Amino acid sequence: MRRREFIAFLTGALTDWPSNAFAKQRHLMTQIALTPEEFHAAYPKLQAWIQKTLATYEIDAQPIASMRFARLPLYFDHTSLEAARFIPIDRVPTPPLAAMGLDRFAAFEQGDFNGVTYLDRYFIKRPVVTEEALHFHELIHVAQWRLLGPESFLTAYANGLDEFGYENSPLEKMAYDAEASFRRSSVIFDADKFVAERLARPQ
């Protein structure tokens, strides 16, 4: 895996709707070196951080059904929606990358995001917690995490970046494409099946 791919994974796959300031930082960060050794050292720490963070906030995790969204149940199957939870929060948690040995990414920790998905949990900022399309987008990521598993999620994202570049990496493009269809209210589709079929496509 090349350095910029891991960086793009950290800045792209885990987070959404970066602020303008962060978008500039992201551009800068893609210019910075990350060796395979640094990646292999950081990845288990990232996984451990995700588990710890989710355990800490599990008490605040809300069932999707509690929002009484009318449209989400039309797109996701009942089991998927039942398993996922969201955590309303003032500031979404991001990994302490500097503490993981990635000092150069300290600026990332200052980033301010509307939403972030880790496995089948997503954090969402309180001011946008009523926006159904943002829940939809994060639920697409939940489906990706579930269908791929964390390591394959990372590998698929990196491979996609290698061929298509950050902006069009398949996992993120998939989420935005699905969200756009949802926002257009055009045709109702099976979102889990949509993700599974897109993942099955040759990359």
Q: Does residue 175 touch Zn ion according to CB under 5 A?
A: yes
Contact region with Zn ion (CB under 5 A), list: 55-63, 75-83, 102-110, 172-180: 172-180
Q: Which is nearer to Zn ion, 72 or 175 (CB)?
A: 175
Q: Which is nearer to Zn ion, 89 or 98 (CB)?
A: 89
Chain center to CA of 117: 4
Looking at residues 2 to 61 of the shown chain, list those that interact with Zn ion (rule: CB under 5 A): 16
β-pair type (115-118, 62-63): unpaired
DSSP 188: -
Instruction: Report in angstroms how near the CB of residue 179 gets to Zn ion at its nearest.
Output: 8
Q: Which is nearer to Zn ion, 16 or 192 (CB)?
A: 16
- Reading the block at residue 101, the tokens are 């040995």
Listed residue (126, 108, 189, 185) closest to 174, CA to CA: 189
Instruction: Report in angstroms how near the CB of residue 200 gets to Zn ion at its nearest.
Output: 20
CA distances (Å), origin 185, targets 58, 75, 188: 32, 11, 7
Site size for Zn ion (CB under 5 A)? 2
Instruction: Report in angstroms how near the CB of residue 194 gets to Zn ion at its nearest.
Output: 15
CA distances (Å), origin 146, targets 14, 26, 43, 157, 175: 14, 27, 18, 14, 14
The site for Zn ion (CB under 5 A) is made up of: 16, 175
